[in-house]
Structures are given as structure tokens and as C-alpha cells.
Amino acid sequence: MAAGRSSFSFATALSLTYTSLHPTLPLLLATHLNLFSASNLSVHSVPLPSSKPAADALRSGEIDLLIGPFGSVLRERVFAISASGNSDTSGQDLTILGQLSLAPSFAIASTPDIRRIYDLTNKTILLSSSSSSSVAETALMQKVLSLWGLHLERDYQFQHPTPSPSANGPADTAAKNFAALLNGRTEHGDPVSATLLQWPYTSLLSSPAIPAETRPYVLARAEDYTAPWTDAVMVASSASTTGTSPVYEALRAFLRGLGDAEVLIRDTESETVVLAAIRQALDVDEAIAKTVLGDWKHSQEQRVGTSKAQPVFQMDPLGTLNTLDTMKQFGAFEGAAQGFNYADLVRAGVGRFVDYGVRDSVFGEA
């Protein structure tokens, strides 16, 4: 089952409200090239600051879909089951429909005076998102830094950003972090030594608009230490994933638009169209747009079994285990029920936490 256009169409106008906490190229292309219109779908983005309020908004029906970090969604589900005292991992109120990125698309970047990881000793690292949205990336960063002999609290600190109240929410927070790194200070005047940068900001560091003497230095790219990695996932209310839900057809149309974007990314003949969309969306020149595209494709090629026949939006089993293991190793599940069956929780199936039913109704079963 490869990503591609499905054989159905939607005669009725559809609408879907979503929150994106994680930048991905398929969503960027689908929105800027209006790929959802082929399914008669209009989409509306609602900015929310982090995973916890986004999950609550899914449950209340304020939004229909969340694109966010797998680790945060997973952690919330683990603690919900633990609090219930029920060891059954099959029931849930939120469902993962599939995965949008299969590599940890972030890096530790520092001000120009810091050129080695161990120079982060006694420094504070500015994180890219709030605590509820960054549990997996902070665990992975602890893993990377521990390999260099640095340990959280003893040798360095993490600082969570102040959520942006603006209309763009997390996107503005990421932009402010990028600006803080370039300026060496936050907007509040606090000194910045290093920060976590997500794609596409990792690619924007090569911009000629940044003077060489002030250009931040990439100390470590997460994908060089752990890949594959289950990163951005699509999450919906479990009740909306059945054919009786009024949101069901809109979810199918949304996935179709993202599937069409995946086709464009993989199709070399569509590169001109893709680059034009990236240039418009990020306000960059052709050279930087090519870097942005190349970095995204490179990170996604690190998945296991990558090919044009790879099931679209399929969660990589090894990537999921890598995420689970790293989070467990660095205390992300501290306080969860003793003997919790993490492997069973992420086992895909009908009515389970990971359920490909909506995806399969669009692209066919894997």
C-alpha cells in the first residue's frame, strides 16, 4: 500500500478543525497547495500551547485532529491506564491514526562560542516546547548528552519556553527560540547558550542571511544517535474513527490530502512544485528551500524498510521501541503502574490505541 490518491471522492462539503504541535512537510504542502480541496474539505487550524490542552480539546470536540509528538500522547495514555487501576491496554478515548514523521527531526544548536557538547557544562538549554509536549525529545537529548558524560541537573539545565499567546501558538514559540539563538538572548533578556531546534529551523541555519561570525553551531543532530524514531503522529477522538461519526469522512479526506503530499515529496518530477510551496510558506530562497526539502527527505529515509511500497503513515516498529526505551531509560514513565505492558499498548489493531482503520479505508489495507 503506497501513498497516493484514493479512488473515492466526496460530494458533500466537509470541514475539519486541527491543532499541529509538530512541523511536518506533508502538512505544509497540503495546506499551501490546497490539496484538501480535491476531497471537498476545508481545514481550520486552532493554536493550542501543548499536548495536554490539545488532548482535552480532542475529547471535548473543540478540535477533530491533533498532529503532535508521539511520546507525549503515549505518556498521557500510560498514566491514564495506571490511574484507572485497570491493566487492560485495549480500550482508549484517543486513537493514533498513523505517523507523519519517522525520525527525530531536531538538533542541539549553540551560540558560536560553544563548539563542543561538553562545553554545555553549567549551561541552560532552551527547549522547543512546553513540558507536556517535549517528554520524548528531552529524554532523547538526555541520552545524547549522557554519551558525552553530561547529566541533567548535575551538569546542565533545561528551560521550557513561555507559551506564545499569539494566533500561531507553537509556531511562534519555535520562531522565538530561533531568534533567541541568533541573538544570544530571549525576548526577556535572558542569556541563551543552546536550544533544541526542530525542522525546518535546523535547515534555516544555512541561510546566507545569517552572518558567518554569528551563525549558530549544530552540536548534535538527534537522528545521528537514534533512528528510526516515532515522532509526529495523528491523533483523533476514538469515537470519531467509526463510520457513524460525523467527523469520520473529514478524517478520511484529511488523510487523503496528506497522502497526496507524500506522493509529491517522493516524486522527483514534482520537485519544482514542492520547492515553490516551501519558498512561499517559509519565505526563503531557492537554495534554502532545497536544503529544507533535502533535510526532510534524508531524515525520513532512515526508517526501516523505506520504499515506495512502504505503507503510508505506518508507525515503524523499531522506531516505536526506540522511543519507548529512551523514555523509560530517562524517567518519562516514572510513577506509572508497576509492570506496565508498554509493548501491548502500542500494538496496532481495531479499537486499540493505534488503529489504522481510517487510513486503510482511504488507501487500502497494508
Find the angle CA(152)-CA(158)-CA(161) to the nearest 5 degrees: 170
Please, which pLDDT band fits residue 350 given cuts at 50, 70 and 90? very high
Q: What is the pLDDT of residues 17-61, one digit of tens each?
A: 999 988 899 999 999 999 999 999 999 999 988 888 999 999 999
Q: State the pLDDT at residue 7.
A: 47
For the four alpha carbons of 323, 328, 330 and 333, in that order, the dihedral sign comes to positive
Which domains can be identified in the chain, with CATH numbers?
14-102+229-363 (3.40.190.10), 106-224 (3.40.190)
Query: Percentage of the chain surpassing pLDDT 70?
Result: 89
Residue 208 exposure: Cα atoms within 13 Å on the Cβ side: 5
Residue 338 exposure: Cα atoms within 13 Å on the Cβ side: 0
Q: What is the pLDDT of residues 48-103, one digit of tens each?
A: 888 889 999 999 999 999 999 999 999 989 988 888 877 667 767 999 999 998 77
Tell me if residue 248 falls in helix, strand or coil. Answer: helix
User: Would strands 156-159 and 123-126 be described as parallel, antiparallel, or unpaired?
Assistant: parallel
Closest by alpha carbon to 144, among 301, 326, 328, 334? Answer: 326
Q: What is the pLDDT of residues 278-329, one digit of tens each?
A: 999 999 999 999 999 999 998 887 544 444 456 789 998 888 999 999 999 9
Q: What is the pLDDT of residues 237-261, one digit of tens each?
A: 999 999 999 999 999 999 999 999 9
Please, which pLDDT band fits residue 170 given cuts at 50, 70 and 90? low
66 near 234, Cβ under 8 Å?
yes
